[in-house]
Amino acid sequence: MKYRHALFLNPYIESKVNSTMKLFPPAGLEYVATSAKECAERVSLVDLRHEQELCTIEGLLDFIKNEGVDIICVGIGWDRQLKEIAKLLNEMPEEIPLIVGGYTATEKVEELFSSCPKIDIIVRGEGEETIKEILKGVAYENILGISYRKKGKVNHNPNRPLPEVDNIVPPERSLRRTDYHLMLNGINVTNISFDSVLSARGCPNNCKFCTFTINPLGQKRNYSARSPESVVDEIEKLPAKVILLSDDNFFAYPKRAEEICDLIIKRKLKKRFLAQSRIDIARYPQLLEKMVKAGFKALLIGIESPHDRILKQLNKGFTADTVRKAFSVLKKYPIYYHGYFIYGNITETEEEMLYIAEFAKEIGVDGITLNKLRIEKFSPLKELAEATPGYHVTERGELYSDTFSHADLKKIGRRLRFSFYTPSRFMKMLWKNIFVTKFFTLGEFSMFILAIPKLLVSVVARERARGRLGDSLKRTFISNA
């Protein structure tokens, strides 16, 4: 084999002061690392979110030297920490090939080559087949889907066609050097282990704000699903207690989802499942009954807006009244419902944005996530944003306007969060997860209670480090402060 030891690196570093929850593995990187196993003598997967001893440049370089790493493959899937990642990559050994891939790497090819002179290849799009050709030593000019340096010039090869999902080997979990648990501010608050399973790629819907099914090359990932048997076979082998079914919409085809539930029930698999869904799921009571029996504990539902004109603008295919009727059905089932909303939409007023929290309470969602509207390179909304007077899109895809600056939108988002997440809301969330959905056992909840003192200390340290401890306490205990 051409390479003895291939290192696959998730370069994101989460400090103990950072509140990011490190629940799930870097699935995209794991898929590519698994694909590489047949082409290298040894493959290592390092997730810097969990490996504190390797988080320093010195620690990582020692690992590379001592373990005989002779090719480095880095996954850049998010547009955060890019300066820190560039600094890390520029410290990598000159003599070792440096390969970069992932969603953001595909999106920012030129920027990464400019800021990271040591990058040799950027893999664009899905990388499972591409990495095998790189490791086998195929000439760069003959590898589809890469950009590479040659004689001081960056060359871009044609895009690689997207493969059928059944041809992609599921991640090899034995490559991991860590387990994944519920971590809050660096503290393991329960003994629950987490994993993710991808049963399909792509989505059959066409929401205008969404670019998850369109990669940064403009390629549409048509919906491609694995067989129900292969999905449940993968689930059955996992030791994790909680499984995220990470499809864009696991219930895109209800009959297939029902078949997967039937197999889980038949094999008596004692797992807890989370999945992403649309409100259409309310139309299938038989499926919902089977989901409860199979162990589905939470649904992550993209609602986006309580306003019909915004929903139409986003091409969601439903109205606010449809959402209300759907949740009147969904609330009958012992499932935790987490709603996703977008604010800062084109021509949206402050009053309309602030109504999101009231609407969320009205329909009865248990939790919410609020995201500012982003407009990526190939988003169908890009043309509308550019044609609307007073609206601007940054290079990072952030939308703002002459009326609402970044700072204004940030303040509105904060008001929304603290309007919805009151102390009583947190008590309701705990009650539902323990006594209704039974997501947590009493033993797991007891472990969480014992972790609260440490958690409070870490939260205070985080807010003090950010210089906003007083404001945070005020907003927590004074509604709409």
Domain boundaries defined on the chain: 3-165, 198-440
For position 167, what pLDDT does the model report? 73
Contacts of 25 (CB under 8 A, 6+ apart): 47, 171, 176, 180, 195, 196
Q: Which numeric CATH code is attached to 3-165?
A: 3.40.50.2300
For position 16, what pLDDT does the model report? 46
For position 165, what pLDDT does the model report? 77
**Cα dist from 84 to 94, 115, 194, 267, 290, whole Å:** 19, 11, 27, 46, 46
For position 3, what pLDDT does the model report? 94
For position 358, what pLDDT does the model report? 98
For position 286, what pLDDT does the model report? 98
Token pair recorded at residue 266:
């038949």
Q: Distance between CA 454 and CA 189 in Å, rounded?
A: 9
The parts of the chain modelled with pLDDT lower than 50 are 16-20, 209, 212, 472-473, 476-481
Token pair recorded at residue 80:
């955060």
Token pair recorded at residue 453:
């003192």
- Domain 198-440 CATH class label: alpha beta
For position 21, what pLDDT does the model report? 53
Instruction: Check: CB of residue 378 under 8 Å from CB of residue 216.
Output: yes
For position 191, what pLDDT does the model report? 79
SS3 150: strand
Strand 121-123 vs strand 98-101: parallel, antiparallel, or unpaired? Answer: parallel
Instruction: Check: CB of residue 364 under 8 Å from CB of residue 327.
Output: yes
Contacts of 127 (CB under 8 A, 6+ apart): 32, 35, 101, 145
Q: Distance between CA 441 and CA 36 in Å, rounded?
A: 39
| CA-angle at 242, arms to 221 and 20, nearest 5° | 75
